[in-house]
Structure 1
């Protein structure tokens, strides 16, 4: 079955959750297949409408208590701004440094050493403040980077040191790129919307019920996909936004594949190893 999402392009509807969590309503129509607007019917009940072969079809996914709780916690993480005066945020920066440069002493939270990681200045909090105002990705972007550094240290170090492929003369700054990737994923998943507007969000919520760290895992996949796209396009710094757009398109494509039920099932997940 295929649907037209809003721009006339067709995607395959992936395998949905068990029938116990779905209900389906069918309405007559003679129109061509088009994607309809999601609606919300009661607490935790997400309904997505689409038309196919002359009929309207509505799939309703009832969020489980586990999904609702994990979504609530993820939304909370997304709303926490980076605050350099908070001890836990200072400790987060120190932990990121230690995971990135094991055995190398950090001389201070304000230091030229941070430029090595790809921050634009010697104080990462300045970059966080800028991107929070212009992008909205706060402390969660630091958590994402720390998760990446600890969980997939080899891939993290390879990207940090730009070891793979033929690199551009003007490379993307590693740390700042990570903040942008977090923001891109937040936009793509549309988790803060009152009403869900994409199948990608619905798919992700099912993944979140399988693994509470699905967002962080998706961040790691997104980073390696972005770097792969960067190399394939022979991109330079001024093309970073274009690379980010193509990265998002690739992630959306993989998330909607029939046999992708977890982040670990995404074809690009293998790039982490």
Structure 2
């Protein structure tokens, strides 16, 4: 019974949506995509409405499928992105009978939003690819990144890849490689970006993590936060922030910067909560995720960190 009611509701909803689109097209002489581009704010609001419109459009189904297949296979690169966008824009304007020379602003807005849509999906592909990449001791690049992590946080030398000293920056044991199993090289890349691009801030956060009463494991927490933002990326919840950031292309550097913001905000919450011990990590982590998701659910969300030592 409930299945039949749901199917009936879906059919009625589809009918009225199609009816309204047709009515507005005749009334305004503009297709739905034009109305979105001309009537919405640049950023998440416009891009997500364009994305939803393309998903629902039967007329543009082939254009949409051809477009998203490229980033979903990791082939939306700098060398072919321009050609991909032009092919999609040309297909849409032809099928919707829009004159590009007359509606130049529409074409620019559409191209900008399509670039966001594709680059977000490309970012999903790249992040997952790096996450699946295991730490390889025979890969000198992997080894160098781990050593950079230590050297950026500590002034004393490290004896090698296996040492009790790794616990000083928050790894669980003598061999830090084992802690990256869940998040692979993505966990390490996030940490390395934080400690190299915001070194003073990262060192300060490390010092706060060593608090004698309210301390936590810096590196382990960092890897857990990688897991959090990776899940939010796959769920599409980072679109508000990334689309509103106004950069033409959403890329892996944007994910790294967001990670730094998340790390600082988690550290702020952790010490404010004054946990009894590290066993409260699950509770505080869940609370932090709820706060973060609530911020991301705002259509005007732009997560901007207060990135100085004095402000945390």
- TM superposition score normalised by structure 1: 0.66
Instruction: Count residues in correspondence.
Output: 213
Instruction: Find the counterpart in structure 1 of residue 239 from structure 2.
Output: 202
Alignment CA distance shift 1:163-1:137 (3 Å): closer
User: 1:184 & 1:70 partners in 2: Cα distance?
Assistant: 16
Structure with bigger helix share is: 2
Q: Does 1:75 align with 2:106?
A: no
Q: Does 1:270 align with 2:299?
A: no
Instruction: Find the counterpart in structure 1 of residue 161 from structure 2.
Output: 109
User: 1:238 & 1:163 partners in 2: Cα distance?
Assistant: 15
User: 2:263 & 2:193 partners in 1: Cα distance?
Assistant: 12
Structure with bigger strand share is: 1
Q: Does 1:90 align with 2:119?
A: no
User: 1:157 & 1:142 partners in 2: Cα distance?
Assistant: 16
Q: Structure 2: state its 5+ residue gaps.
A: 1-42, 57-63, 70-112
Alignment CA distance shift 1:185-1:169 (3 Å): same
Instruction: Find the counterpart in structure 1 of residue 45 from structure 2.
Output: 16
User: 1:155 & 1:16 partners in 2: Cα distance?
Assistant: 33
User: 1:69 & 1:95 partners in 2: Cα distance?
Assistant: 27
Question: 1:144–1:216: 8 Å Cα contact kept in structure 2?
Answer: yes
Q: Per-residue deviation at 1:175? A: 0.9
Instruction: Find the counterpart in structure 2 of residue 223 from structure 1.
Output: 263
Instruction: Find the counterpart in structure 2 of residue 138 from structure 1.
Output: 184
User: 2:216 & 2:209 partners in 1: Cα distance?
Assistant: 13
Q: Per-residue deviation at 1:20? A: 9.2
Q: Please show how residues 41-60 of structure 1 align to structure 2 within 5 Å.
A: 42-44=65-67
User: 2:208 & 2:308 partners in 1: Cα distance?
Assistant: 14
**Secondary structure, counterpart of 2:65 in structure 1:** coil
Instruction: Find the counterpart in structure 2 of residue 38 from structure 1.
Output: none
Q: Per-residue deviation at 1:211? A: 4.7
User: 2:120 & 2:218 partners in 1: Cα distance?
Assistant: 32
Aligned match for 1:150, one of 190, 196, 205: 196
Instruction: Find the counterpart in structure 2 of residue 253 from structure 1.
Output: 294
User: 1:189 & 1:20 partners in 2: Cα distance?
Assistant: 18
Question: 2:123–2:251: 8 Å Cα contact kept in structure 1?
Answer: no
Q: Per-residue deviation at 1:171? A: 2.1
Q: Per-residue deviation at 1:72? A: 2.8
User: 2:270 & 2:196 partners in 1: Cα distance?
Assistant: 24
Alignment CA distance shift 1:22-1:118 (3 Å): closer
Instruction: Find the counterpart in structure 2 of residue 160 from structure 1.
Output: 206
